[in-house]
Structure 1
């Protein structure tokens, strides 16, 4: 029952025009700090989770290890937790659903699920990605938990594609992913305000964007209809910079003594 309530709570936080701002965590300690700062939900960053354990992003971290980190995070906070599962660690819809089920066993109530072909290039075809979303939705619904599936497209992330190029396909993917059972639509790499507003106006799914150079101010994003703003690996990078600076200062102080 608690997991069902947390899933409903996470979904309710996604309101067009009043974005949920998520400063992404990478371990139990960072999750606790973010929760103590007042965040109503905790989201992981796959890049940061992997980097914190010495792995590269792109499903190079063993999934069993991901499970351990997620379990520790969920056990450390009294808030909904949504997990960046990248592309599900498989091309097979049922294997993806099984992997998500393993995270739900620990209490996860949301996922980020991307359409990038991790070990290859480009994006999964729309039908293939919809089959994977539908399998995850069917699995979660069978458990009686309305898992928040934040369907991510990498149309604009690292691809060199900029609006208006790619917008027709992006809108088509949003509509198809919604029909397959997605709860939200995540478009990292999109920073053009007019394109963001266009997507908000043409999809019923709450739109998620990610902070990066060129992204408009939060107030402008809210006015455009954005429902979620993610910081991705920003918190981890800031923490590591602080540690490097402190370690350097200590070393230089000792050398000068």
Structure 2
């Protein structure tokens, strides 16, 4: 089974697929070493690594350089968080997706809000974008490349369930392989979408939505962890540095298991 089919298979098994997210080559290698079957990237974590805010704050060329380092560092499939596509022009977005595919990634995550306006794209506009992406990938020989369509209604506090449902249905019909609704936490609505859609539903782990067994029982097929691990690493360093500067006994800094790095 090639890596593209394997990635699809991970979304179509009885057990929910946990997609952990990397932000640099080392984090990617550690996730692979720990047993992840595939990983995603986190644009938030990658932006932190550049000392920038999330939200397409760098050039696409800079983003691709970072992404290539992550993809090249592991032997497992990598799904790339490409935010809103680094453009609002359909042709440019399609070119950007193909650039990512040519790096060796197995899929993308693309949002239906525009970074330029900070607002949701019209449902018809995003459907056209997704359809064009699918056609471009198929024409270039990437028919198994996984397109995960992210719906930002909940994150932008514009969540009327009928709107979210309509977008999910339209994006699936346009050619999306999966539907991602970060911020949606209502169990009844999640279950309704899982039953309604012909493609796997992806949720984001949040302080209000983190029980994978409960989500699996609702029909969710993938749980993404976004910037969780990146944030945890930052938080650990901040706490340890603060403690080190305030105390004289530093023995706790050495109370960790021996480290075996994958290189």
TM-score greater than 0.5 by the shorter chain: yes
Q: Which residue matches 1:150?
A: 148
Alpha-carbon distance between aligned partners in 2 of 1:122 and 1:104, rounded to the nearest angstrom: 27
Q: Which residue matches 2:97?
A: 100
Alpha-carbon distance between aligned partners in 1 of 2:145 and 2:123, rounded to the nearest angstrom: 21
> Unpaired segments of 5 or more residues in structure 2?
251-263
Offset at residue 129 of structure 1 (A): 0.5
> Which of 205, 220, 224 pairs up with 2:218?
224
Alpha-carbon distance between aligned partners in 2 of 1:175 and 1:113, rounded to the nearest angstrom: 16
Q: Which residue matches 2:6?
A: 9
> Which of 211, 231, 239 pairs up with 1:245?
239
Alpha-carbon distance between aligned partners in 1 of 2:102 and 2:210, rounded to the nearest angstrom: 38
Indicate the RMSD between aligned Cα atoms, in angstroms. Answer: 1.8
| 1:40-71 C-alpha deviation (Å, 9 max, x unpaired) | 00101111111111111111122111111111
Q: Which residue matches 1:203?
A: 197
Q: Which residue matches 2:185?
A: 191
Alpha-carbon distance between aligned partners in 1 of 2:214 and 2:13, rounded to the nearest angstrom: 12
Could you say what secondary structure the match of 2:118 adopts? coil
Alpha-carbon distance between aligned partners in 2 of 1:160 and 1:112, rounded to the nearest angstrom: 20
Offset at residue 213 of structure 1 (A): 2.1
Q: Which residue matches 2:23?
A: 26
Offset at residue 254 of structure 1 (A): 5.8
Judged with a 3 Å threshold, the aligned counterparts in structure 2 of structure 1 residues 95 and 160 are, in CA distance, closer, same or farther, namely: closer
The 10-residue stretch of structure 1 (69-78 or 207-216) with the greater mean CA deviation from structure 2: 207-216
After superposing on structure 2, the runs of 4+ consecutive aligned residues of structure 1 that deviate more than 4 Å are none
Q: TM (normalized to structure 2)?
A: 0.90
Judged with a 3 Å threshold, the aligned counterparts in structure 2 of structure 1 residues 108 and 216 are, in CA distance, closer, same or farther, namely: closer
Correspondences of 1:171-190 after superposition (within 5 Å): 171-190=165-184
Q: Which residue matches 1:54?
A: 51
Alpha-carbon distance between aligned partners in 2 of 1:68 and 1:117, rounded to the nearest angstrom: 22
Q: TM (normalized to structure 1)?
A: 0.92
Alpha-carbon distance between aligned partners in 2 of 1:209 and 1:220, rounded to the nearest angstrom: 12
1:37 and 2:34 are equivalent in the alignment: yes
